[in-house]
Amino acid sequence: MSLLFEPIGIGTLQLPNRIMRSATAERLVDRETGAPQLKVGQLYRALAEGGVGLIVTGHAYVERSGRTHDEMSSIAQDELIPIWREIIRPAQQAGARVMVQLNHAGANCNPAITPESLSPSGVAVLNMAQSRAMTEEELLRIVRSFGQAARRAREAGFDGVQLHGAHGYLISQFLTPATNLRNDRWGGDAERRRAFLKAVVSEVRRQVGDDYPVWIKLGVAGRREMGLAISEGAQVARACAEYGIDCVEISFAIGMPEDLDMRVEAPLLPLAQVVRQAVGPHYPLALVNGFRTRAVMEEVLASGVVQLISLSRPLIAEPDLPKKMREGKVTKVACMRCDRCWPEKPGEGIACHNEKVQEALR
């Protein structure tokens, strides 16, 4: 059997293969409550039946102040527990494991949806809206909100939680020098910039216990002007292991590092190689972004740099891609990375809108 389809155990979580669906916002929610629509459950079941070993939901806000747009899922109220349970059960019955991604957007909010967004220092960078520096009381409330969201996830039957620590959202903002200018215990040097993440992990563990899978999607480097280089990002990954996080999915932070060649397959692999050196040979890592062929997926796994291959856009076009690869029907993804996945109208949800891809799949 190929490495790609070998089972693997990560902490207490047993996975049927090495393919995970990276968290992808489905944009199928009740806009007032953030409750996922039943269509989301159908999407997850299709992924499970298509051979995906681990499904990570689109990011779900842990409290309303962290809502980045009005089609973002919520896990901020106990009333959502039975809804989520119904959503994920079919995928689990079909053999997949399902995690929910917990997030607070911080400054990365649509001001029309979240008028007064909170952030570490009130700094507006890149495409982020103007925000207000959060108080100590607000910061600690958000920490507790992450913990309560994790509790709800366990009660709903999720197989674990993944913290969103990438792509310029709140945890990533705390880790990044350009967006964390605080001079208290939550900012300053690299260790203090990690204090918010450490507090979140501690509170999550307090709520769910030591045996429950807690992962993170971590932005280990960003645009040069943001100040988070891979040398520091790799140390954050190492700290994650020390804090009790079971697996790090490697991604980018605020903006893509300029020195990466995004034209090649698996362009973030150089970042993963640095992280592997920092965390040692055995700590579980996953890698996302730009995988196009089974050969490269197998090669990356065989190298030992990561244990899991994480896919997003390829699975939007082909939810049964893993099954087709396992059966030898295809050796490469149909996705052309055109980014025409997002809904053309509100309420449509994600889907592949590339006519050439759709024609090739017929």
Q: Which residues contact 354 (CB under 8 A, 6 or more apart)?
A: 317, 336, 338, 340
- pLDDT tens digit sequence for 154-163: 999 999 999 9
Judge whether 316 lies within some domain: yes
Q: Identify whether 83 is part of a domain.
A: yes
Q: What is the pLDDT averaged over residues 225-250? A: 98
What radius of gyration do the chain's Cα atoms show?
A: 19
Four-point Cα dihedral 308, 314, 316, 322, nearest 10: -60
Question: How do residues 193-219 score in pLDDT, each as one tens digit?
Answer: 999 999 999 999 999 999 999 999 999
Rounded mean pLDDT of the chain? 96
Residue 104's identity, in one-letter code, is H
Residue type, 289: N
Contacts of 159 (CB under 8 A, 6+ apart): 13, 54, 92, 97, 98, 99, 213
Residue with tokens 């932070």: 253
3-state SS string for 24-46: CCCCCECCCCCCECHHHHHHHHH
CATH number at residue 135: 3.20.20.70
Provide the token pair at 100: 């929910």
Tell me if 58 is assigned to some domain. Answer: yes
CB 201, CB 243: distance < 8 Å: yes
- Tracing tokens 């980045």 back to the chain, one arrives at 68
Structure confidence by residue, pLDDT tens digits, 329-351: 999 998 888 888 887 777 889 98
**How much is the average pLDDT of 257-286?**
97
| Per-residue pLDDT tens over the stretch 299-329 | 999 999 999 999 999 999 999 999 999 999 9
Close Cβ partners of 329 (under 8 Å, ≥ 6 residues apart)? none
pLDDT at 181 over 70: yes
Q: Which amino acid is at 204?
A: V
pLDDT digits (tens, 9 = 90+) for 23-49: 999 999 999 999 999 999 999 999 999
Q: Tell me the sheet residues that pair with 293.
A: 332
d(CA 169, CA 154): 23
CA distance 134 to 115: 14
Q: Is residue 320 part of a domain?
A: yes
Q: Quick one: how far is CA 224 from the chain centroid?
A: 22
Judged by phi (left if over 0) then psi (alpha if -120 to 50, else beta), residue 209 lies in: left
Residue 45 inside a domain? The answer is yes
Separation of first and last alpha carbons in the chain: 29
* Measured distance CA(143)–CA(73) in Å, rounded: 19
Task: Give the DSSP letter of residue 332.
Answer: B
Q: How far apart are CA 58 and CA 46, in angstroms?
A: 15
Distances (CA, A) of 130 to 22, 26, 215: 29, 26, 30
Greater confidence (188 vs 115) lies with 188
Classify residue 22: in a domain, yes or no. yes
Overall domain count for the chain: 1
Percent of the chain residues topping a pLDDT of 90: 87
Beta bridge partners of 216: 163, 248
- Domain region containing 10: 3-330
Amino acid type, 322: P
Residue 166, Cβ neighbours under 10 Å: how many? 24
pLDDT at 359 over 90: no
- Residue 131 vs residue 127, higher pLDDT: 131
pLDDT in tens, 163-180: 999 999 999 999 999 999
Distance, CA of 223 to CA of 346 (rounded, Å): 31
154 within domain boundaries? yes
Residues sharing a CB contact under 8 Å with residue 306, sequence separation 6 or more, in sequence order: 250, 272, 276, 285, 286, 287, 300
pLDDT for 59:
99
Residue 346 lies in a domain: no
Residue type, 138: E
Q: What is the pLDDT of residue 1?
A: 63
> 264 pLDDT exceeds 90?
yes
